[in-house]
Amino acid sequence: TSRFKLTASQRQRLENVQDILFPSEPDAPGARDINAAEYLQAVLLDPRMDPEEMDFIINGLNWLEEEALERWEKSYNNMLPLEKEMLIEHVSGLDWGSSWLSTLLLFIFEALLSDPLYGGNPDGIGWKWLGYTPGQPRPKKKYDAYL
């Protein structure tokens, strides 16, 4: 539902956190390369997903902003890269933060490993990086096409 549609600010925050959690390397794709944010937005909009988990993801983005304002007196999106990394490190020590970052990592790995049909792993970039050959037959339609 649209309740789980990310605002531009939330999307920017999400992309940055994903970049910190799964950065690009010369020989390895990062979160942006695998379309992790786009993949997670599609998951958030899927009506079959657990609304509590979707709320948790959105709330985490909002709590991160609150932490930035409280600790750095500026919006997360306006922080310097090192400040953002320090804040993520701080948040990882909080109960909600540890769980939230783990949840984001789970969806990053899904984006890395899923069939490109679902929005992540464009052109099989994650599979190529891992030297993986997908099983056959591959899906021809998104799962929601069967509803």
Tens digits of per-residue pLDDT, 34-58? 999 999 999 998 888 899 999 999 9
Tokens 């899923």 correspond to what residue? Answer: 114
Backbone angles phi, psi at 24, to 5 degrees: -70, 145
What is the residue-averaged pLDDT of the chain?
Answer: 93
Q: Are 92 and 104 in contact (CB under 8 A)?
A: no
Confidence (pTM) = 0.92
- Alpha carbon distance 31, 23 (integer Å): 6
